[in-house]
Structure 1
């Protein structure tokens, strides 16, 4: 039986950190196509602790080629240690074959579809994206693009492309993604911006109180576009910066873990 998450915002200060075993490599890597971006790594949990849920990680880096999935490997390992199957996705970024818009969105959706078709992974899938990956997680969770998706957790997301552009974040990264300014390609901007789209899967936004990379106004602007019936809520990790929400050694990790757990329980 499914449940809808009510809109709202939570504030949390986490003071405990969990113990972590030694780092370990991915259990396997799956190649899904001809490009070097067509790949994902899988970490498997201890069978006795497995939750029957796949977390599909979507990395950030303001949609640029020089940032890849490997910086989320510590988070992938931590989530696997905590009982999740984890697929750490690569995707085509701006400047790469198939990247830019709409290619970047198409690439992420294709990777998630491949994870959904992976018979060795649980069918219940939560897309967890950070920064630009958070934007993509929100995009995938909108407009019925992935009706089989259990839900999405957007960590410090570049949620509202219009606000990202207004602030000129990361040397106008949004314009680099779209390949044009908003006035020159209004339809492409509308297609890429989850703030202009109907949210169709249960979603959580987790942000850091001290995030200077994606300021609070970006998330506030996105939340202002939501209706009371939208299946979304937000949480803020007190004292956390942009990267603390993906650092398994930071206190914010336990808040992220709790939100993933709650979403999967609410949608079971």
Structure 2
């Protein structure tokens, strides 16, 4: 997500409080919130949300509360996951990735949530869920949806996205910390869990070219689909009042049918 002076409009969308919050460890980021669905429409699917913010502390899981509310209204169990960001205890690489793996394991072990789990990540969260979907890293995962995802770290670095946020996250340039870049970049890894990547047509924070670069490097048999959200900018992708929300729903539903 961009360094912006004005808060995104999605933060003003209506939302309700989660039905419960689960604390999974000693850090303030060891937590996830749960929204239960309208049981008359319950689908038997858990959607795990992973927020963005270029891996920095400014944004947290709270800005996905409107999306969580909408998804629960549409019949999904929703777990809104927190994780440590750059400069926070346990944040940066590899701490952020390890923490998110632990958070997903907690959701999988939550017996009050359906076993079928789809992760939906926005921006830097899109990077993280695609990383989880790579190299058989998360066997309990059914599929992932990346919304405006920073899914090719090399391309993000070439475009200096988020004021070189990837370098801050990984602790240096590709030449300075090559092992971290190789370990963190989904574009250098094998996609092993089905993924749907959704860039916004008018996204100038994480342009569609980042998804295009990632897709161009995948083999023909990779479990990958891409869909351009027409008329959408970066934050429209997580705005339940924007038409892009219907595309997000469709991608989640398609993954659960596989």
> TM class by shorter-chain length?
over 0.9
Q: Distance in 1 between matches of 2:15 and 2:180?
A: 41
- The Cα of 1:23 is off from its aligned counterpart by 3.3
- The Cα of 1:245 is off from its aligned counterpart by 0.9
Which of 193, 215, 218 is matched with 1:223 structurally? 215
TM-score scaled by length of structure 2: 0.94
Q: Distance in 2 between matches of 1:174 and 1:160?
A: 10
Q: Distance in 2 between matches of 1:100 and 1:134?
A: 16
Whether 1:28 aligns to 2:7 is no
User: How far does the alpha carbon of each residue in 1:103-158 deviate from its partner, in whole angstroms, 9 at most, with x for none?
Assistant: 01111111111000001000110010000000001000001111110000001100
Q: Distance in 1 between matches of 2:53 and 2:40?
A: 35
User: How far does the alpha carbon of each residue in 1:158-200 deviate from its partner, in whole angstroms, 9 at most, with x for none?
Assistant: 0100011111111100001001111011111000000000001
> Superposed, which structure 2 residues align to 1:45-194 within 5 Å?
45-194=37-186
Q: Distance in 2 between matches of 1:223 and 1:88?
A: 27
Match of 1:249 in 2: 241
TM-score scaled by length of structure 1: 0.90
Give the aligned length: 246
Alpha-carbon distance change, 88 to 184 in structure 1, aligned in 2, over 3 angstroms: same
- The Cα of 1:22 is off from its aligned counterpart by 6.3
List runs of 5+ in structure 2 lacking aligned partners. 1-12
Q: Distance in 2 between matches of 1:213 and 1:69?
A: 19
List runs of 5+ in structure 1 lacking aligned partners. 1-20
Q: Distance in 2 between matches of 1:31 and 1:216?
A: 36
Q: Distance in 2 between matches of 1:80 and 1:200?
A: 28
RMSD of equivalent CA atoms: 1.0
After TM superposition, the runs of 4+ consecutive aligned structure 1 residues lying more than 6 A away are none
Task: Look up the SS of the partner of 1:170 in the other structure.
Answer: coil
Q: Distance in 2 between matches of 1:225 and 1:60?
A: 23
Q: Distance in 2 between matches of 1:154 and 1:122?
A: 21
